[in-house]
Structure formats: C-alpha cells, structure tokens
Amino acid sequence: DQQVKQNSPSLSVQEGRISILNCDYTNSMFDYFLWYKKYPAEGPTFLISISSIKDKNEDGRFTVFLNKSAKHLSLHIVPSQPGDSAVYFCAAPTDTSYGKLTFGQGTILTVHP
C-alpha cells in the first residue's frame, strides 16, 4: 500500500521551460509535505515543503502546489536549468508522533541545454 506515489518515473524538459513534477497521496490526514532532490551518489537534499493549511509555497524558482481535495501536489520549476537534473522525491510524515517520512518512488528530471 503506497501512501505516497509518483507515477512518472522520468521527465525531460528543455532548459528555460517549466518542469512540473507530480505526487499523489492516499491519506487525507497528512498535513505536511516535502520535496527532496537527489543527485547520484549523494543523499537527498531538502528542497521545499508545504503545510496542508496552504495551497501554495514558493521559493525562488521552485513552487509547490497542494490540492487537498484531489490529494495531489506538484512541484514547478521555472525556469528549468541543466543543474536541476536530478531525482526528485516527494515525502510526507506518516507518523505524526515521531516524524517518520514516507517517500514516493521518485521522478528523474533531465533538463536539456
């Protein structure tokens, strides 16, 4: 039972264009979501988060949108840069007592020059 799902294994985008990465979740009780970025042979790096009391959070080129009714969130990167090429994971704390994170499967983003 996957509580956090990323259904697109990969995404290819031209430099300067928008990248949209999607994530779905099953439990309407989830109240916080995070996006991590991972380069090969490195650990995940925190990118941006959103609380369920908001529907949008923006940080520079990165914006996360949350649609609670659809149990869906998306990460927008505008404009995309070749250095953004990485694996992107969405995650949610599925144990509110201790903060255990459940991750999606990840989406490989490739930004072409």
Q: Which residues of this protein are in contact with other proteins, per CB under 8 A?
A: 4, 6, 9, 31-32, 34, 36, 41-46, 49, 51, 89, 91, 93, 95-106
Shortest Å, Cβ 16 to other proteins: 29
For other proteins, give the closer residue by CB, 13 or 87: 87
Strand partners for 110: 12
Shortest Å, Cβ 86 to other proteins: 13
Shortest Å, Cβ 69 to other proteins: 20
For other proteins, give the closer residue by CB, 21 or 91: 91
Strand partners for 31: none
Q: What angle do CA 89, 53, 103 make, to 5 degrees?
A: 20
